Structures are given as structure tokens and as C-alpha cells.
A and B are shown apart, each in its own frame.
Chain A
């Protein structure tokens, strides 16, 4: 879901007049209105001087726990692929009940790590820059 200080009416017009021309069917998630910046303040990303939210992005798990966040100043946009990758990684870790971890550069389908005594000092056997970063 998305949040800005705009009213729900402005969200509708923005979706109908512009966003639906960029994405088929328009926005598929709720566009929340935080007039006054109360929610943004709760999450620590509201810019009181500018009267707007900064680009805060939070991953919240099924128990309502914050698993990750990122905050950018307004001129730089997010990378949605990276957010999705992180959600998939957190989902995998949760499904494994913590027995698996996703190493640096992990992508869905790639090898995970199983932390334990045997892995200490042996990550180099399981993980390489080439396998995780070369495209």
C-alpha cells in the first residue's frame, strides 16, 4: 500500500488520469491518505518543513513486525525489484523457521545458507561473488 499527504480524491484523479496510462488497470493496491502527516510522523519519515512524506518503505511481516525499511530523499525513486527481492527473502527465511538465511546478492532460486557450527569458516565453499553477483 502507498501513503502520501494527498486526499483520497486526489489519489483517484491521479490514478485515473495518469497512473492508469502507465500501468494496465491502474494502481492495484490501496492509496492511503495521511493529511497532516500523522502516520509519517509515527514512522519517522514525515518532513515537517516540506509538509510531505519522504520516500520511506517498510516491510511488515504477517505478525505486524517491521522486518526492514529504507528511506530516501524525494528526488531518487525506489527500485521495486529490490523491495520484492527482500520480501521474497524474508518469506523464505520465515518458512524455513530461521534454519535458512539468504546471503548477500541472493535472488529467488539461488542457494541459501544454513547457519550452524559447520558453516563457520566455510562460507567460501558455499558462496562466491561470481554465483551471486555476475549477471
Chain B
């Protein structure tokens, strides 16, 4: 029988079965250094698809040079907080 799960602000934990986790040791080490965001240092650049005022657009952080940017990440649409 399907079990009901509690809704929250993240993807619900599923009962764990043996899940093959693909690990790439080299990649993990590389990422650790990439992850260090520091104040006073350049923000990592990116391009991403977005929804903006009725249209689907492509947003490139570099195009925001000359403006102040408040970049806010959040767990997901239709979550509660």
C-alpha cells in the first residue's frame, strides 16, 4: 500500500532501499574548493532559464553588472515559508 508522507519544505525522505550512490572522489575534492563563497570575492557566474513577468527568459548574471543583485535561493515553489 502506498504510504502517506508528511509535507514539508524539502523533498520527502523516502524509505531507504539500497541505493547505488555514484561517487566520484576526484569530483568531490574539486567541489569543496569551488564551494567556498567569500565576501569581497566575485560571485560565480551562471545562466539559467527563468519566468519573468509573463515570459520565459534566459537570465545571465553577467548582464546585471552595474546593478545591485539580491540572489535568493529557496527550497521550492508551493512550499510554505
Contacts and interface: CB of A to CB of B under 8 A. Distances in A.
A41 B43 contact: no
Given A51-B11, A66-B37, A66-B42, A78 B68 contact: no
A14 B77 contact: yes
A66 B74 contact: no
A24 B32 CA distance: 41
Interface residues of A, number: 61
Given A44-B36, A50-B11, A66 B43 contact: yes
Given A1-B50, A75-B81, A50 B10 contact: yes
Interface residues of B, number: 46
B51 interface: yes
Contacts of A44: 35-37
Given A8-B51, A74-B9, A57 B71 contact: yes
A17 to B, nearest CB: 9
A110 B52 CA distance: 35
Interface in B12-60: 31, 34-46, 48-53, 56-57, 59
A49 B76 CA distance: 15
